[in-house]
Amino acid sequence: MALDLQGLQHLQRHQLVRLTPEGWAGVQSGDREPRAQAALAHWAAHDLPLVVTRQRVDDGEQIALGLPAPTCWGRLRLALSVPAVALRDPHGFPEPTAITPLLAPPVRAAWTTLADRLAALGVAPQVYGSHGWQMITGLAYLREGSDLDLWLPIQDAAQADAAAALLDDANWRGPRLDGEIGLPDGSAVAWREWRLWRAGRADAVLVKHRTGVRLEQGSQWLSRN
């Protein structure tokens, strides 16, 4: 189902979308290297999603999307600009329980416990990065040392503090936990940076927005959320 105007206005980083057949025809028509063409052909043939990335302010009805290719295509990162009318089926990355089979058996129970503790805080994380893409596509993304990237949508600063503290204090022996806190206005902060900033160990924090980034000092900007 194609996105309506309201849906387009609410697209944010780390959301996934699929393309219409016309959309796939358009992105495959460009002159790209063979590995990139092969990755795009596979995505189109299997109706795999693309991820919403940082948008250009002056792109009008074009939406910036990304395709991070797996190991078999050299881990290329393809940047695509697609007409808004070619987008459909917006959705999110996998929930934590979905990626449990990708984790080593000794840490699966601890992962479930960590996900449950986040849920108890009212936080419903999604797993992006290598773990998320491998779960979505069935292709090999993971390698030794791959982080486990979490998108943590929160409602306010107190909830962000609690989620960041939980991850920071977790007795976790699995992949390094990384990722971002997603604020109500669609902006985001790396949870580790948030933790340092809120503890007074950093003078400013880098806030990522739909169309750019901004270094924020003080806490006045939080009142906009």
The Cα–Cα gap between 99 and 196 comes to 28
Give me the numbers of helices (H) and strands (E) for the chain, helices first please.
7, 11
Q: Is 161 a catalytic residue?
A: no
The Cα–Cα gap between 151 and 128 comes to 7
Those residues whose C-beta lies under 8 Å from the C-beta of residue 74, and which sit 6 or more positions away, are 35
Question: Active site residue: 47, 147, 156, 185, which one?
Answer: 147
Per the CB < 8 A criterion, the answer to whether 112 and 97 are in contact is yes
End-to-end CA distance of the chain: give it in Å, rounded: 30
Per the CB < 8 A criterion, the answer to whether 82 and 27 are in contact is yes
Quickly tell me which residue has 């295509």 as its tokens.
73
Closest CA to 123 of 149, 169, 147, 158: 158
Question: Active site residue: 149, 156, 178, 185, which one?
Answer: 149
Q: Is 147 a catalytic residue?
A: yes
Q: Tell me the catalytic residues.
A: 147, 149
